[in-house]
């Protein structure tokens, strides 16, 4: 991943408009409680904006892609606690 040249304030504002932080509850037999709780950061855009998602991925240097065929969208998601800590640290600074 190449370093991004995006302005940090652009990333902050763009995420305010197009991004979200979520908490997901999923039923699973793998957990003794019967469900898994997961924090997620996501930006989802039309596939024509994939270059912008690549730049945001390079900016944070931690996120992987999930391609959604639904409505021709692409989603940039972070689920690991390490990745989320990097992302949250950015918003704590701006």
Composition of the chain by helix, strand, coil, percent to 5: 45, 35, 25
Domain ranges of the chain: 8-93
pLDDT tens digits for 7-46? Answer: 999 999 999 999 999 999 999 998 888 999 999 999 999 9
Cα–Cα distance for residue pair 7/11, rounded to 1 Å: 7
pLDDT tens digits for 49-93? Answer: 989 988 998 899 877 767 666 788 888 889 888 899 999 999 998
Top CATH class of 8-93 equals alpha beta
């Amino acid at each position: 991943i190449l370093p991004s040249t995006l302005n940090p304030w652009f990333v902050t504002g763009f995420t305010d408009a197009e991004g979200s932080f979520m908490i997901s509850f999923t039923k699973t037999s793998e957990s003794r409680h019967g469900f898994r709780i997961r924090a997620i950061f996501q930006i989802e855009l039309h596939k024509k904006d994939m270059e912008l998602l690549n730049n945001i991925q390079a900016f944070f240097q931690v996120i992987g892609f999930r391609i959604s065929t639904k409505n021709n969208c692409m989603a940039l998601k972070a689920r690991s606690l390490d990745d989320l800590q990097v992302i949250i640290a950015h918003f704590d600074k701006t």
